[in-house]
Amino acid sequence: GCLFFFGNVVDFVVIIMSEAVTSVPEESEERSDTNRNTDSSKRSRDVPEDAEEDGSPPCKKLAEDNAEKSASSSEDEDTAKGKSKNKKHMVTLSSGRAVNVKKVRNHVNPLTALYNRPVALPKELQEGGTWNDIYLDPSKPLVLDIGCAKGHYCLEGAKKWPELNWLGLEIREPLVIRGNEWAQSSSLRNLRYINGNASAGMADLLTAFPKGVLKRVCIQCPDPCFKTKHQKRKMVTPRLVMELRDHMPQGSILYVQSDVEMVAQQMADDFSAIGGFTRTDRNEYGELIDATGGVDESRPPHGNKAKSKGHAYCDAKIGTGTWPNMGVAAAPDGTYPWLPRNPYQFQSEREASVLSRGEPMFRMLFVRSGAAAVAKATGSEGAGAGAKE
């Protein structure tokens, strides 16, 4: 009887424990589901409804979205700035094509069909106008800069000397267009740029100038054309030399310079040999061009600047190292009498850059000396030969 009673008690206890164990997981699971729903409702208030379910934490997803928007906005701003910057340097050529001036090549081949044609007259003259349509006062003395490059020399010169008219001649049309835009925006009625190849002929332009106004011609740092096969491309050709001799008024000044000594020697020899040009140490204002403070800028190093390292153009060999009329402008000892400083205390961009590195500049001034000198140099005295005065 006892055993029967004890067995019933044990069965009863087992049944009670089984029910207790079975009920605990259900309650725990129900409680876990409740907590999960509560956490989910809290997160739903913070996470956008369109957030992607890619497994990333909601806060990380928001940070990534904000970063993407910021980057996209920054790229849009950079693109807008780039377009604005490029637009600033764009010019429209006579052909209608738009060109970025910053991408214009430093040198071009003047013998190609695109460039190998004589310098044309300004469009105002071609359309029947006069120099009054170009300059406010065309009777002012004229400075002609042949191969004016970017045009800063003429631009600053026109600002500094408003009593002079300035004309820049450049073979690359984009630079000419931008230069005229500068002149217009600065309201400079004494400045003009024209496009053309001086080595192909500029007699028409020289003839069209008002009589006697051409007072100074500048040829500064032309392309050195180091290779022998490129010597035929050089700007100062016998044709250009003769045209300048035949059209520059008596007493006008020719100013040549280069940071490559052989290029300067070639120019000096050609103008000395052709006749009609006499070397001078004074500019058109009568100022003697001597060394200032004992500094000779044709002999480096000068001033307080040491000669720069790297390729020295003053020692560069041009072509074969020989040329027609070689040594005509040299002194009896074979040296060339270069000017010790700039005759106008006014530097071109290239000149300023060269001098800042302690490198030399080789300069020479010539005065147009008249028909008698031409006749004597050419052996045509009494034959009616001479230059236009």
Residue 343: DSSP 8-state: T
154 class by beta-carbon count within 10 Å (0-12 exposed, 13-18 middle, 19+ buried): buried
In the block, residue with structure tokens 């069909």:
113
SS3 168: strand
User: Rounded to whole angstroms, how far apart are CA atoms 85 and 361?
Assistant: 35
Q: What is the DSSP letter of 106?
A: S
Closest C-alpha among 178, 193, 208 to residue 93: 178
Q: Please identify every residue annotated as catalytic.
A: 223
Residue 194's alpha-carbon distances to 32, 46, 67, 176, in angstroms, are 88, 68, 52, 6
The single-letter code of the amino acid at 349 is E
Q: What is the DSSP string of 271-331?
A: HHHHSSEEEESB-TT--B---BTTB-TTSSS-TTPPPPSS--GGGPPPTTS--TTTTTTS-
Closest CA to 209 of 264, 148, 143: 143
